[in-house]
Structure 1
């Protein structure tokens, strides 16, 4: 069975930038946009043009410099929003307008004070209007995660008939369970007339820590676009993590799904975004965290030294990390100490290692981590009479 492509829609510059304290200026956005284009994302959501003059300028500038990816601008289902987005996207080689409206009963009743029929009318009107500017129109059904599936299918069918090319099915509040979200995508795939004319897209939030799992459940059930951010940045608890979904599909070839992402740029892109937004990456973050390929347990270290695959399912080089880290702590064993000592120029015999290891434990019990400089001191204080080779 041939591998099917899942498009990667990156919204780091729109949804990711909505994190408090993560505001970027236009120049920073341009640098990140160029890197996302190099990374191989299919769509860059550059911003929400009507929200501010700065966002309009950023979308317009990004549109001019991006060479390969589709550039997308977000709007509400309001004509003025769409007019402004179309103007900002004029310079884009591949422009997309992303418009939509809330579809859950909660949004319809309390946010819009409207009815289901009026919501469908507004959705159709917005898509038709956006189509007068661009061919590629994505429709989002906000709070689709809590929208009745039958009504959601009606909305999707109406906007596809109006010309929508992508259907964004957001789990806006991060409420859905993976099985539930996957079933929703499957229902739409099977019950929306004309669904073959559009791509179903997953846009999942991480309020319950399920964004990545929900997105994968979505593509397993027929979605062919994932909306995500570098480092999982986004409002509240964040969005689906780009690096996670990319590597999950790559590490599970039986899914027969893959992306066009150059995974060797993932780590450096993560660092670029983290530094630009002054948003540290948690050390235990999957794929790009400082500890993702670090080993401090003696049992794990011994296994990794003998064969990396005993405790690593991803080759660090595949995501742009130079090598696994063997971190020396009081939990480390002789194999790890010998490995690190060899790296700084000491070939220890078994008897020498036994003696050095006892001195090492004294150090390790008083320090969180033993570094290369400490190894030299430990060996000197062990009085085994050897020096590091040049």
Structure 2
């Protein structure tokens, strides 16, 4: 591509890296989660949420299990201020939930922020100012010491006003644009703020290190986090937090490696809503942990309902391929994938298994409120016999013989290909019935009887060409006798009779289903299916259906 030379690496590596995080296999416990949907996420919407929508969304976040929720920037607008006051005055904040508010390091904004918090049981006051080289040079045109002074002055004011205000307050500081800040300077400014706030075990301080703009590969961000974690003052009384954005598409990886590197807390949003390419997606992060057998301490057991609530409030859409929440993320169209999934599901049904290990399915869809039927296997022209057979078995109780399943698979794929669309289960079932079940043309089965003195000697009544007639036959079994009568009457031979049957339903309305496959004189296989309350009648109907396929070819 042109102009590649204009792009330089805008991030800064630590002066030394230990890479201890790289030796860890996975995240072993959930972080402190802080939802910033109502602030970071809301400000990124084309039409921000109104008061009623924000109140409803707050309830959704509480129900999911968030214990820290950033509710806004109350000094920024009347809507933000009113929302916070409504939460407090109507007692809508559960006792175990801490609200968080954002403030710039400016006196009138800090004072307005504390005014909004009157009556709150517990709140995090989140102070920030931008520290990156680009912001210092281009926006503020200030030296490092002048930027430090902004942070320290704000920290002192926050501490002073908090002491004058009734309430229980915890402090948080973010060197905004941390990823574009020289690491030693970021460490210095954070430590200077910590010197003001003097964190203690009873009231730790949160130091939040945002990837305001994601600039590096995730391992670099992890190295930056690890350096800060190992060199911050008062570390035992500091909660180290990360707030990754997704500019490079690596927000989740940044957060995961950041946690391995020492981060104890994560700020993010549901489905990654946020400015530009968004914040880190907490749904994906949490369920990634879940897939490793680690409880994320958030409840996504009914993820489709959460998707619906999110889409209603934000007017945004969760992509069909979005991890975990997307409509198609557990769906297989590919024939080989469908076959493997169907066999894996059957393997689990055969006996209880301790661990989930179904091919192509990272977690059990049912654990997050998805259904096997219609979610896992869907049918189009790329589908195969395994998936089609799985749908017939799961939804309609039809357990086709393997060769018949293959034959029917081609029928379904041809229909999907010709119509250029996905086929729904009912459409697949209709194709099956039209193709195989109780076929009556050109030869219709009417009834049969067997001679009392000769067990396997039969008289079969058929209807063909508008004429009803009786035909006779003998064999080594009842079905064989009927088959021989038909071959004699119709004047053609077939071989390799394949027969299976099973109960279609249980209880008073139980029926039998039979499958028959025969090989015609042309060497091709022809299949029929019979369904009837009587097992023998269902077998005869299956035979007639197969023979009618030969005649109608």
Counterparts of residues 39-78 of structure 1 (less than 5 Å) = 39-63=64-88, 64-67=91-94, 68-78=96-106
| Matches of 1:346 and 1:161, distance apart in 2 | 70
Q: Distance in 2 between matches of 1:389 and 1:232?
A: 54
CA separation of 1:334 and 1:259: change in aligned 2, threshold 3 A: closer
Residues 241, 267 of structure 2: 8 Å contact kept: yes
Q: Return the offset for 1:22.
A: 4.1
Partner in structure 2 of residue 137 of structure 1: 171
Determine helix, strand or coil for the equivalent of 1:240: coil
**2:318 counterpart (270, 278, 281):** 281
1:254-265 aligned at under 5 Å gives the runs: 259-265=296-302
Contact residue 176 and residue 214 of structure 1 kept, 8 A: no
Cα separation, 2, equivalents of 1:388 and 1:111: 78
Q: CA deviation at 1:5?
A: 4.0
CA RMSD in angstroms comes to 2.2
Q: Deviations over 1:190-217 (max 9, x none)?
A: 1122122211111111111011110111
Q: Which residue of 321, 324, 338 maps to 2:370?
A: 321
Q: List aligned pairs for 1:290-301, cutoff 5 A.
A: 290-301=327-338
Within 5 Å, give how 1:151-190 maps onto structure 2.
Answer: 151-163=185-197, 165-190=205-230
> What is the alpha-carbon distance in structure 2 between the residues aligned to residue 119 and residue 258 of structure 1?
40
Question: Residue 381 in 1 paired to residue 408 in 2?
Answer: no
> Once the 2 structures are TM-superposed, how far is the Cα of residue 354 of structure 1 from its aligned partner?
4.1
Structure with more strand by fraction? 2
Partner of 2:138: 110
Q: 1:269-292 deviations in whole A, cap 9, x for unaligned? A: 232111211101111000111112
Q: 1:191 to 1:358 in 2, by over 3 A?
A: closer
Relative contact order, CA 8 A, sep 6+: which one is greater? 1
Instruction: Name the TM-score, length of structure 1 as normaliser.
Output: 0.93
SS in structure 2 at match of 1:97 = strand
- Preserved CA contact (<8 Å) 1:71 1:89: no
Distance 1:258-1:343 versus aligned 2 partners, 3 A rule: closer
Contact kept, 8 Å, 1:346 with 1:387, in 2: the verdict is no
Unaligned runs of 5+ in 1: none
Aligned residues: 387
Worse-matched range after superposition: 332-341 or 214-223: 332-341
Pairwise CA distance, 1:322: 3.2
Corresponding residue for 2:274? 234
For residues 278 and 47 of structure 2, what CA distance do their matches in structure 1 show?
Answer: 12
Q: 1:371 aligns with which of 424, 433, 443?
A: 424
Q: What corresponds to 2:307 in structure 1?
A: 270
Indicate the structure (1 or 2) with the bigger Cα radius of gyration: 2
Distance 1:123 1:389, change over 3 A: farther
What is residue 345 of structure 1 aligned with on the other side? 396
Pick from 49, 56, 65 the counterpart of residue 31 of structure 1.
Answer: 56
The verdict on how the C-alpha distance between 1:71 and 1:288 changes in structure 2, with shifts beyond 3 A counting, is same
